Amino acid sequence: MAEEKKIKVLLAKAGLDGHDRGVNVLRLGLQEEGMEVLYTGIRQTPESIAQRAVDEKVEVLGLSSLAGAHKYLFPEIVQLLRKKGGRDILVIAGGMIPDEDIPFLTEAGVSAIFGPGSTIKEIADYIREKRRGKKR
């Protein structure tokens, strides 16, 4: 029986946000959930994030924001992904994102927002379910 291919995830911190404790916990947790996880490091540009996601052929891009620039940066990243051929990349986000910003981000192409209190298992299960639906 062939081993199932690992889901490849890129986690990214855009803009001037230098807080990465949460994204590092998520990185380790998703690895424990059996995913292949790459991390851009802090203070990345939308261009560099989108390009790396396409170059690395990831299935999922997880964006993290604790600095309040998510309404500007996340839609720009989604647009750049589309322009660069990453239309099929699932984009999720997390961090300190106010509830009132969620509809704006989902309209911009972010599939789901995971705020404080979200569990690693909840995020991993969401990713697996969305990827399973893509492979049908």
Q: What is the pLDDT of residues 86-111, one digit of tens each?
A: 999 999 999 999 999 999 999 999 99
* Mean pLDDT computed over every residue of the chain: 94
SS (H, E, C) 24-69: HHHHHHHHHCCCEEEECCCCECHHHHHHHHHHCCCCEEEEEECCCC
Q: Is residue 3 part of a domain?
A: no
Within a domain: 121: yes
pLDDT at 3 over 90: no
Residue 14 domain-assigned?
yes
pLDDT score at 135: 57
Residue at 128 is within a domain: yes
Cα separation, 136 vs 134, in Å, equals: 6
Q: Is residue 2 part of a domain?
A: no
Listed residue (84, 86, 90) closest to 35, CA to CA? 90
Which residue segment(s) compose the domain that 51 sits in?
Answer: 8-134
Q: Note whether residue 42 is domain-resident.
A: yes
pLDDT at 129 over 80: yes
Which uninterrupted H or E stretch holds 106? helix 102-107
**Considering its fold, how many domains does the chain have in total?**
1
User: Three-state SS for 2?
Assistant: coil
Compute the average pLDDT of residues 28-57: 97
78 inside domain: yes
pLDDT reading at 53 higher than 50: yes
Give the CATH number of the domain where residue 46 resides: 3.40.50.280
- The answer to whether residue 136 scores a pLDDT higher than 90 is no
**Residue 76 in domain:** yes
